[in-house]
Chains A and B, each alone.
Chain A
Amino acid sequence: MKDISKSFPGVKALDSVDFKLRKGEIHALMGENGAGKSTLIKIITGVYEKDAGLITLQGEPIHFKTPQEAQDKGIGTVYQEIMLCSNLTVAENMFIGRSHGPVVNWKQMNEKAEQLLASLGIPASPMQELSSCSLAVQQMIAIARAVDMDCKILILDEPTSSLDEDEVHKLFELMRELKDRGVGIIFITHFLEQVYEISDRTTVLRNGKLVGEYETASLPQIELISKMLGNVLEDITKLKKHEPVVTDTSVPVFEGIGLSSVAGVRPFNFAIQKGEVNGFAGLLGSGRSESARAIFTADKVTGGEVKMKGKRVKIKTPLHAIKQGIGYLPEDRKGDGIIADLSVRDNIILTLQVLKGFFKPFSLKQAEEFADDYIEKLNIKTPTANTPIRSLSGGNQQKVILARWLLTHPEYLILDEPTRGIDVGTKVEIQKLVIQLANEGMSVTFISSEIGEMIRTCSRLIVMKDREIVGELRGTDLTENDVMNVIAKGGRNA
């Protein structure tokens, strides 16, 4: 009945991707960050226009120019963040922007809302203020809003990320109810267990390309993971395997005991030795970044204690962490890393300058020396040190942030996705640099969504799943399969 197929050739986020959604099925759309999931969704919902390809809805070719058009055709979307007005009533939220003409028939609206809520089994009353409902119910109301009208396709983008288990089950019941009515549901999540629990089919995207469409039940978890991550066959020449030069294993450089943070990582223990490179492996949302952020107190830490070289220290803010000799290259380069409008020079000296103090500015000459030094050392391609960092390429921006931290000579450096979104050449440079730094005695945590990269650089992998540590791998002959096995087998539901 319903076949959406589309392809677009091109350099952009999606490269000739086909996608089929049948009537009355729940279809999981899987892929790591940057795989093209959201681009695909945005094209279906009319946020973006496709470059090429064909979309058909029930056999008819369609072409949406605005999200409103998509909605009118019966495509409803619910995003991760609940986009409702919490101070309005349930009924108002369901029908806001839907009324025709300036007059609102309140009575009719409330009646219609009541019917819809009852038919979907949502435990809420139309007159209730939205903020008084639980998150799950709010999510359901958002779905009710989307499926009102003659909804044919429902897109759920990470609907479960802020829900607890009970709430997830309630949401799943609603999804099954809609499925029985013949609604086709596209379900995006990074919780693998949920994919297996609810979805009929799974489509995997990677780097903007279609990997394949599978019956979920007949696709083993391990295969799903390997399809999402890909066997990263880069033209990276065999990097010389890092041999840990751990000279003194008695006292770890950094040790965290029972660390947890507001970002929702379960309390974990972690220690790293001098000169060691370790990695946090896991899928997106597994807690790999959240753990790194907890170590650096980038997120507010809610519990646990920290020892540096065996001594208990208090780290409450990133500044404390920096003073203790910890560096942190954030995952989100744009949002947390670069100071876009400032020069490469200012971006490089920033952290060292903060360490030195507010009343002790570096002279321009000194700052230029630092900047020129690292521009040369890291081979940063920039017209001048005075160029705003925003006009550099992603890889060079990343090197500037690296330079910023290297300039502070940290004892322990955390690199969260230092290689994401940058060219292969720079990726190799960064990996080599990590190994070189470790050989000089720095401890490094290297996080990457490309497991192959971590295997090449790390001597120890800490494997995470669903926001907790599920295993640890050591040795020089690890393969991606070993890592995937641990991910697939680990966790509470396995």
Chain B
Amino acid sequence: MSTMKKSFSHLFLPLSVMALLIIINLVKGADYFRITMVNGALYGNIPNILFGASELVILSIGMTLVTASSRGQDISIGESATITSAIFVQYVLQASEVTPLTIVVAFLLSCVGGLVLGAFNGTLVSIFKVQPMVASLILFTGGRSIAFMIDGKLSPILANDISNKIGTVIPGIPIQTPIILTVVFIVLIAVVFKTTNLRLYVETVGINPNAARLNGINPKKIIFLTFLIMGFCSAVAGFIAVNKAGRHDSVNLLKLIMMDAILAVAIGGNSLGGGKFSITGSIIGAYTIEMLNRTLLRLEIEPAMIKVFKAIFIIILMVVASPVARAYFTKVLDKVRSSNKRKESIPKDAHIPTTNIAVKKEE
């Protein structure tokens, strides 16, 4: 029981924000959840959010890991994704005929690119101990120029049938492809967490790197690994983004998305100072941000003013979620609880074994 409560408590913030946004949307119009079928695929507010947030969800998963292990953020993710997708586009464009194999090879190449970029940032952070933000500032500054050099020209068009299907829908499947890809990615990450000690190692390194080292974990390797994963996430996000757009715009592709990714991590209840983390929280956080963006659009706020409203919303959110406010809420909650549950708590304490000096026999 207490385990359930515990694992749920950190999701309280993102879920309550989401609930609040849904209420606002329902007030605006009761048809918020309406889903329509267009050309055999489902459309509507919710599918649009799932569709729009694909890249952000994937990137915020990587960002969560980087934050947890290195206690800092990678601000070059949009640029990394732009570079990897430039590699993807170039490979596809040079092919005489675009087959599914072409796309797969191009995607794998872009993943290699992502890993190289992740290794670059990871080396700076883990070996040279550069602050993550400073280390990734290099790619943030130069990344789009590199992508432009790979492109060779402004905005090459990705006009093939397969790309179009990846970016929109595959006939016969009612759900838009980016949504499916995102789900596949999340499942993949879930499997990784299930079959490895990634969580234990990353959290240990993020909480106490000294103790990690003394217990046989190499903090450098773990931090490097999270940056590699970040690079892979960037490649996947770049792949989805460029297929969605149908062309490779080196200047604007996923521009400033790291801000939203960092925000998603924070909304997800994760400390930006590293340590314990919740991927689920970040994923919900990412969808919440997309929902917020679309809510503001739906409320017909002037496009020029949207950023202001978003900023105000985030300020309120961050104050509510700040340690100071949280400590206050916990205090209030404890008071309420202790006055309610005084009777219950007494037998609970009695369960704790009493002091027994004798040490139990060991086999």
Quick one: given A377-B360, A379-B359, are A322 and B215 in contact (CB under 8 Å)?
Answer: yes
Q: CB of A337 within 8 A of chain B? A: yes
With A319-B216, A319-B218, A428-B357 already in contact, the answer to whether A339 and B208 are too (CB < 8 A) is: yes
| Contact, CB under 8 Å: B204 / A361 | no
* Contact call A341/B214, Cβ cutoff below 8 A: no
* Stretch from B181-189, B194-202, B294-302, B335-343 forming part of the interface with A: B194-202
The CA-CA distance from A91 to B217 in the complex, in Å, is 45
Contacts of B356 in A (CB 8 A): 379
Which residues in window 160-198 of B have CB below 8 A to A? 194-198
> A406–B355 Cα gap in the complex (Å)?
21
Give B6's nearest chain A residue, CB to CB.
Answer: A386
Instruction: Check: A66 CB closer than 8 A to any chain B CB.
Output: no
B44 to chain A, nearest CB (A): 38
Structural contact, A354 and B207, CB atoms closer than 8 A: no
Q: Once bound together, how far apart are the Cα atoms of A380 and B303, in whole Å?
A: 59
Q: Which of B198, B204, B353, B358 contacts A339 (CB 8 A)?
A: B204
A404 at the interface (CB under 8 A from B): yes
Give CA–CA (A437, B362) in the complex, Å: 9
Contact present for B203 and A318 (CB under 8 Å): no
Any B CB within 8 A of the CB of A220: no
Interface size class of B (residues with CB under 8 A): 35 or more
Chain A interface, number of residues (Cβ within 8 angstroms): 46
0 or 1 for each of A317-360: is its CB under 8 Å from B? (1 = yes): 11100110000101000011111111000100011011101111
Q: A341-B276, A359-B195 are in contact. Are A378 and B360 (CB under 8 A)?
A: yes
Contacts of B353 in A (CB 8 A): 379, 381
Say whether A472 faces chain B, with CB atoms less than 8 Å apart: no
Measured CA separation A318–B216 after assembly (Å): 5
- Name the A residues within 8 Å of B275 (CB-CB): 341
* Interface contact B203-A342, CB-CB below 8 Å: yes
Q: How far is the CB of B327 from chain A (nearest CB, A)?
A: 15
* Distance A4 CA – B209 CA, assembled complex (angstroms): 43
Q: Is A383 an interface residue (CB 8 A)?
A: yes
Are A341 and B213 interface neighbours, CB within 8 A? no
A340 with B213: in contact, given A361-B195, A433-B359, A436-B359 (CB under 8 Å)?
no
Determine whether A429 belongs to the interface, using a CB cutoff of 8 Å to chain B. yes
CA–CA, A432 and B212, complex, Å: 28
Q: Is the CB of A436 within 8 A of B362?
A: yes
- Which of A298, A317, A340, A406 touches B207 (beta carbons < 8 Å)? A340
A269 within 8 A of B: no
Kindly identify, within residues 349 to 375 of chain A, every residue whose CB is under 8 Å from any CB belonging to chain B: 350-351, 353-355, 357-361
Q: Which residues of A contact B201 (CB under 8 A)?
A: 358
Min CB distance, A447 to chain B, in Å? 15
In the complex, which residues of chain A have a beta carbon less than 8 angstroms from the beta carbon of B2? Answer: 384, 386
What is the minimal beta-carbon distance from A379 to any residue of chain B, in angstroms?
Answer: 6
Q: Does A425 contact B (CB under 8 A)?
A: yes
Is B211 an interface residue, CB under 8 A from the partner? yes
| Distance between B112 CB and nearest chain A CB, rounded to angstroms | 22
User: CB-nearest residue of chain A relative to B362?
Assistant: A377
Q: Across the interface, do B3 and A358 meet the contact criterion of CB distance under 8 Å?
A: no
Q: Is A165 an interface residue (CB 8 A)?
A: no
Contacts of A318 in B (CB 8 A): 213-216
Query: In the complex, what residue of chain B is closest to A437 when comparing beta carbons?
Result: B362
**CB-defined interface of B23-49 with A at 8 Å, one 1/0 digit per residue?**
000000000000000000000000000
Is residue A166 within 8 Å, beta carbon to beta carbon, of the partner chain? Answer: no
User: Complex formed: what's the CA distance from A5 to B302 in Å?
Assistant: 70
Does B210 belong to the interface (CB within 8 Å)?
yes
Q: Quick one: given A322-B215, A340-B207, A429-B359, are A359 and B196 in contact (CB under 8 Å)? A: yes
Q: Which residues 169-187 of A sit at the B interface, judged by CB distance below 8 A?
A: none
A381 adjacent to B208 (CB under 8 Å)? no
Q: Distance in Å from the Cβ of B180 to the closest Cβ of chain A?
A: 28
A376 at the interface (CB under 8 A from B): yes
* B352 at the A interface (CB under 8 A): yes
Q: Which residues of B contact A404 (CB under 8 A)?
A: 215
Q: A318-B215, A322-B215, A381-B353 are in contact. Are A336 and B6 (CB under 8 A)?
A: no
- The residue of chain B having its C-beta at the shortest distance from the C-beta of A440 within the complex is B362
Closest approach, in angstroms, between the C-beta of A326 and any C-beta of chain B? 11
Asked if A376 meets B360 with Cβ closer than 8 Å, knowing A318-B214, A338-B208, A355-B216, the reply is yes
Q: Which of B274-306 contact A (CB under 8 A)?
A: 275-276
Report B210 CB to chain A, min CB distance, Å: 5
Interchain CB contact under 8 A, A386 and B196: no
- Interface contact A341-B359, CB-CB below 8 Å: no
Residue numbers in A under 8 Å from B352 (CB-CB) = 381, 383
Give min CB distance, B256 to chain A, whole Å: 31
CB distance from B32 to the nearest CB of A (A): 38
Given contacts A339-B207, A359-B195, A425-B357, contact A350 B214 (CB under 8 A): no
CA distance A353 to B362 in the complex (A): 21
CB-CB under 8 A for A354 and B208, given A379-B360, A436-B362: no
Closest B-chain residue to A382, C-beta based?
B352
Which 5 residue pairs of A and B lie closest in terms of their CB atoms, listed nearest first? Answer: A319-B216, A354-B216, A351-B215, A377-B360, A322-B216
Known contacts A338-B211, A341-B203, A353-B197; can you find 17 more A-B pairs with CB under 8 A?
A296-B214, A323-B216, A336-B211, A339-B208, A340-B207, A341-B276, A342-B203, A350-B200, A354-B197, A354-B215, A359-B195, A360-B197, A377-B362, A383-B348, A429-B357, A433-B359, A436-B362
14 sample A-B contacts, Cβ–Cβ < 8 Å, listed by A number: A298-B214, A318-B213, A335-B208, A336-B214, A341-B207, A346-B203, A351-B215, A353-B197, A361-B195, A376-B360, A377-B359, A379-B355, A429-B359, A437-B362
